[in-house]
Amino acid sequence: MPDMSSFGKTLVILGIFLVVFGILLSFGGKLSWFGRLPGDVYIQKKGFSFYFPIMTSLVVSVVLSVIFILFRRR
């Protein structure tokens, strides 16, 4: 029989992630700097635009890594 406590922890972490994501979406206008960090690549030419958020991806990755490390230790 699978361990239900690990499944419960996974659901709690997923729920917290969804709540944080929802809060970020609702306050999106107030976080106008998010997605426009120095190091994000934005190329715009006639009839073409390319956006690759390198620094934003790194910041999100570091924050999520720290959160998951903190939850794993408990």
Distance CA 51, CA 45 (A): 12
Domain boundaries, the chain: 1-31, 33-74
Q: Is 54 left (phi over 0), alpha (psi -120 to 50) or beta?
A: alpha
Task: State how far the Cα of 5 lies from the Cα of 49, in Å rounded to an integer.
Answer: 47
The model's pTM is 0.56
Residue by residue, pLDDT tens for the chain (74 residues) are 566 777 888 888 889 888 887 887 787 667 666 678 888 898 999 999 998 889 988 988 998 898 888 877 65
pLDDT at residue 31, as a whole number: 65
